[in-house]
Structure 1
Amino acid sequence: MALLTPHKTINYYHWITEVLGNLWLLKNAGLPINYVDQYLMGHSGAAWQEKILQLAGMQPERITPIGDLEDQFIDRMLLPSWGEVTSHSLPDWLSDAIHASIGFSRPQAPGTRRVYLSRQNASRRRVLNEHSLIERLRAHGFECHECGDLSFRQQQDLLASAGVVVAPHGAALTNLLWCAPQTDVIELHAHRHQDQSFHLLARQLRLRYRSHSIAGPSHSSRTREDDLELDDCDLAVVEWLVRDALNNTAT
């Protein structure tokens, strides 16, 4: 048995980075996927998980959800190690490992689509006045998507065809993995949520990354999980960043 991720419930970003990163480490150590009888991981049976594991060449009978392992004795466990790094510090091999694990080839040049990734159906870190933001973005030719409404393949295709991506901080930005080098990315995050995961991922992928820090709404506790509420100044800054990104794509 091999442990791919120790979490029973896990989001899209951590699942993809940990499961595919650890699969690659095992293969790089000379252990092909069929060498291991069972892979232990957080597994809900979500369609995107099933598709990714299929692309990685893993048969369903080799999957053991962590929640099914209570009161069982394990004779031998393989534990891939990232050494001194974690999924929040991103080892320099990670994005290439993810691509290799599922046979993904990145496009060579950015696409032409202008994409906003919404969190309107999330329970936290939403943009409360998103209608105001979307109105400004649509004036620049943006389309709005909720990644939870898309299949894994649709998410790959969407981001591979993007030239500019705008999104609040959240797991949907994991899909930067499918962008071409030099794609422009603008991340919006709460003032106290200075998580660098997607900045590091963008740098590793050679994307052109920008971010804007936004205070929470007046009634908020101003924590790292705050919803966002953009005032007129924030909206103007985001629009300036968008114009700058569009100017880059035109040159």
Structure 2
Amino acid sequence: MAPFTVLIPARLASTRLPNKPLAALGDAPMVVRVAQRALKSQARRTVVACDSPQILEACAAHGVEAILTRDDHASGSDRLAEACALLGLDGEDLVVNVQGDEPLIDPPLIDAVAGLLHAAPAASMSTAAHAIDSVDDLRNPNVVKVVCDTQGYALYFSRAPIPWWRDGNAGGVPSLPVAPAPLRHVGIYGYRAGFLRRFPGLPPAPIEQTEALEQLRAMWHGHRIAVHVTDHAPGPGVDTAQDLERVRQLF
């Protein structure tokens, strides 16, 4: 396994669930739980990139490394770019972005995303996906789909049902296509640090703005994204108060 660093962006100003990184899961805040999972991966270093002293203090209290970044970043990738600069990561250094609201992230999935990027020198990024097994998920615009080429690079990401099964979908989306199986995108990303530091400076792409999917900016500008297809769905993330209660039951 090539050396890599896990970065976990965390901000207090969550729209749907304020102070989400500090929400208690058992005897530790959520951002700490995410870091504890990442520490079980093969990463050489796990760092929380946060926007507030409160998160910094909570991490320190549980022995988790954290750095303070600006509080006015427009996106998580902007925060990660600053974190790379603060940590001196650049060039071909590998970084895996684990979202700060994924306290049940599977450590081997982190390793797989990092390993795939190391093995795919033509890619600037890597990510993950798994087969969709529900028509409701295929229809759901909050479930992001990805279509890959024969080498496992992403061709496109969309909130729409893709690939579009012309004959089977004539009446809407009555059933799942048999082949290729539609893939649900999993929001974990590997980056080459040099690309990540440049990424916020790339002009936003029209397709990125249409789909509200930031990864399309990379593809619009000619960067390739390698996709690891996992056999099972990851544990639930936390976006809402209902999600938080469901995950709390597991702790």
TM-score w.r.t. structure 1 length? Answer: 0.28
Higher relative contact order (CA 8 A, sep 6+): 2
Indicate the structure with greater strand content: 2
TM-score w.r.t. structure 2 length? Answer: 0.28
